[in-house]
Amino acid sequence: MDFYKKNLDAIKQNNVFLYEKLNSIYNNDRYEVFLPQGYKYPNILDKKNNAMFYQDSQDEIEIKKEHLKELQEYPFLYFFGIADGSNIKELLKNKNLQQLLVIEPELELLYVALNVNDFSKDLEKNRLLFLEKDDINRSTIVNLFHNLNAKYYIKVFRLHLINQYYEQFYIDEYKKLYGIFLDALDYFAQANGNDINDTFTGVIQHIQNLDIMLENLPYSQLKKAKNSNLAVIVSTGPSLTKQLPLLKEYQDKITIISVDASLPILLKNGIIPDIVTSMERDEPTSVFFKDVDYSTLKETIFICASLQHKSVFDAIKSDKLMVVMRPFAYNIYFDFDDYGYVCMGMSSANMAHEVATAMRFDQITFIGQNLAFGDDLKTHADDHIIESDPDLDAQIQSGKLFDITAYGAEGKVKTNIFWNIFKNFIEQHIDSTKNIVTSYNSTQGGARIEGSIEIDFKDVLSKYANTTKKPLQVSKPSSENIEVLKSSKEQKLQFILDESKELQEQINRSFLIIADASKDLENKSIDECLEIFDISMTIKLLDEISKIRKEVENSKIYYKFLESIIQPLMYSMELEIGEIKVKYVNNPKDNTIKALQWILAHRYWLFSLSGVIENVIHLTQENIKS
């Protein structure tokens, strides 16, 4: 049977680039594969390094199989190297395994493994993934962990070596890839671990602002509506001051997208932005829109997030307001697609870059995007209306500031954790849109933004600011259409209320069963707990947990609305539950201990879940009343 052709056909369905590379290989010149007499596993000779993969393939592969049994509870696995593929084939027999990623540094070795193993069914289902080492970057890994439920197992992540051969000849590549994984997982943890209070604030304000959103400009009108070749995103870093004269000189030939904090600075310098972006949830954000001469901003579009404080909308005295939704489930749930979705990131500059990308500008460049302290430890450009952090010296002394690569790779600059998070989100979006638009960085100071092309502001203007821009054409929906959307909103709110109540009742029922059965375990040693719980009670509670988790997963409202609200609180708990789930046990006592840990973790999980849903029910009721 031609395993290689079957495997290639399966790879082609999900990874055309890898398929084309493998399809061009016709033999293995570097590696010699042979089956020792009486053996069922092949050995491989690396002729370049004169090295064997195994001293004894039979013994070593069987020993490795025994070690791999400790991974039998892991739903997601990551391996560096495939060797002959025998152990990967063995791992795929495990029904608990949802996805296995293999990074093979040598295509010819992958060619060998695909010739002697049939992986086609797992490749077709995307249960087995192959990636080349050069394809791995933070964006690749972040996208990988967004799939399925892999995000709940980042605390137990390991990049396993399949064979000592790889440790001997590829240790540097392995360490580099491990670092990329850890960087991506750190980013992922930050993105998923926001404050639950901030999330609730966003949900409340989003629902309260829905009517304002529906009565104003739809975001869909702005997509693919570029009015020049070059978009300049203006942030408030210290370097902005020196760039203002050029920005003013070229403002008629470029599209200026200003973050909210830059608006007063631009107006003071006679510069009129085409678009202003704003997304912070707090009331102080409104200060950027007060004491503004709106008669000079008749053509300016104000793009604000629906989860902002109402004071922001009260302060903006313009009929060109665009209230947009962010790509969260509690926004998407309402099905108002014309008004969304923009900004997975955490700053107005992130938002500006996503807007510019959606508008399909040929080039986008940043100015004032320092994301770091200036040489004099300034944090903002001149004329910024909010003072710098008065505790800056204390931050330096406490070590809360750290060094990152400077613009132009000219040494290091100091930043803080928040700016670094903003930078990570910008880098992630630049990488994911690199085939759509070219992103430049003309800040000429501050931190290096990986993925952007660094270029002097004067050079990017002289090269790309070569057309006279036109006003952006947008209009509000008809009053009839607005009323239809408002009616839909009311129906959606009632559905949230009804379905959340039903789900909470199911959760409370399960919680009381588990809490009542496990109350005697408090302040007890492990051995005492083992004496209290018999096998039948343990099985009963495990079945109850399995049942309620399925009910939550199958709930009409959970993944459509509740999950993105609950995530900041529940994510850390799911990580702990993930650690328990993958524990390897090979004796009855340890198995019972694992079961008790699972039960107690879910007691707290159910209690917390019910509490969050209670808050959702309350805020929905209040908004329906109002």
Q: If pLDDT is split at 50, 70 and 90, which confidence band does 489 have? A: very high
* Residue 391 lies inside a defined structural domain of this protein: no
Could you tell me if residue 599 is inside a domain? yes
| Mean pLDDT for the stretch of residues 265-281 | 94
Q: What is the mean pLDDT of residues 538-543?
A: 91
Maximum average pLDDT range among 59-68, 328-337, 534-543: 328-337
Summarize the confidence of residues 206-232 as an average pLDDT. Answer: 92
Please report the pLDDT score of residue 207 as a whole number. 92
pLDDT of residue 389: 54
Kindly tell me the burial class for residue 325, based on how many C-beta atoms sit within 10 Å of its own C-beta (0-12, 13-18, 19 or more): buried
Average pLDDT estimate for 273-289: 92
Query: Looking at 403, 431, 464, which one is the last position of a domain?
Result: 464
Helix 457-464 to helix 240-249 angle (10° resolution) is 20
Q: Is residue 404 part of a domain?
A: no
Do residues 233 and 314 both lie within one domain?
yes
Q: Give me the mean pLDDT over the 348-357 stretch.
A: 94
Mean pLDDT of the region 113-118: 93
pLDDT recorded at residue 547: 96
Same domain, 296 and 249: yes
Same domain, 173 and 237: no
Considering only CA atoms, which of 188, 187, 233 is closest in space to residue 370? Answer: 233
Q: Is residue 413 part of a domain?
A: no
**Quick one: 263 and 338 in the same domain?**
yes
| Averaged pLDDT score across all residues of the chain | 89
Of 73-82, 362-371, 530-539, minimum mean pLDDT range: 530-539
Within 10 A of 293 (CB to CB), how many other CB atoms are there? 8
Number of folded domains that form the chain: 3
Percent of the chain having pLDDT more than 90? 58
Query: What is the structure's pLDDT at 398?
Result: 57
This prediction has a pTM of 0.83
Rounded alpha-carbon distances, angstroms, from residue 240 to 369, 456, 457, 512: 8, 13, 11, 59
- Residues 331 and 441 grouped into a single domain: yes
Spatial CA neighbour of 8 closest among 94, 114, 97: 114
Whether the pLDDT of residue 351 is over 90: the answer is yes
- Domain that residue 538 falls in: 479-625
Task: Verify that 49 and 124 share a domain, yes or no.
Answer: yes
CATH number, position 220: 3.90.1480
Q: Is pLDDT of 285 > 80?
A: yes
**Residue 9 covered by a domain:** yes
| H or E stretch covering 129 | strand 128-131
Residue 470, in any domain of the structure: no
Report which of residues 244 and 467 the model is more confident about.
244
| Cβ neighbours, 10 Å, residue 267 | 18
579-621 residue pLDDT tens: 999 999 988 888 888 998 999 999 999 999 999 999 999 888 8
Residues 150 and 10 in one domain: yes
Q: Which amino acid is at 561?
A: F
Asked whether the predicted pLDDT for residue 60 surpasses 80, the reply is yes
Query: In terms of domains, do 563 and 611 share one?
Result: yes
Angle separating helix axes 563-581 and 588-625, nearest 10 degrees: 180
Residue where one domain finishes, among candidates 175, 192, 209 = 192
**Structure-token pair, residue 157:** 């992540």
Answer yes or no: is 458 within a domain.
yes
Do 131 and 103 meet the contact criterion of CB atoms below 8 Å apart?
yes
User: What does the buried/exposed string (b/e) look like for 154-175 if buried means 16 or more CB atoms within 10 Å of the residue's CB?
Assistant: bebbebebbbebbeebbeebbe
Given a cut of 80, is residue 504 above it in pLDDT?
yes
Counting DSSP H helices and E strands in the chain, the numbers are: 24, 17
**Least confident residue range of 387-396, 465-474, 561-570:** 387-396
pLDDT of residue 193: 58
Q: 486 and 527 share a domain?
A: yes
- Specify the pairing of strand 76-80 against strand 99-103: parallel
Of 192, 222, 248, the last residue of a domain is 192
Strand order in the sheet with 159-161: 128-131, 99-103, 76-80, 159-161
- Condensed to tens digits (0 to 9), the pLDDT of residues 121-172 reads 999 999 999 998 888 888 888 888 877 688 889 889 999 999 889 999 999 9
Residues 9 and 138 both lie in one domain: yes
Q: Does the residue 215 lie in any domain?
A: yes
The confidence score (pLDDT) of residue 158 equals 94
pLDDT of res. 63:
85
Domain check: are 147 and 250 in the same one? Answer: no
Could you tell me which residues come within 8 angstroms of residue 264 by beta carbon, excluding any fewer than 6 positions away? 288, 291, 292, 383, 384, 385
How much is the pLDDT for 339? Answer: 94
Please report which confidence band the pLDDT of residue 359 belongs to, taking 50, 70 and 90 as the band edges: very high
488 and 580, same domain (yes or no): yes
Could you read off the pLDDT of 178-207 as tens digits, one per residue? 999 988 888 777 766 556 788 888 888 999
Q: What is the pLDDT of residue 66?
A: 85
**pLDDT, tens digit, 9 for 90 and up, residues 305-342:** 999 999 999 999 999 999 999 998 889 999 999 998 99
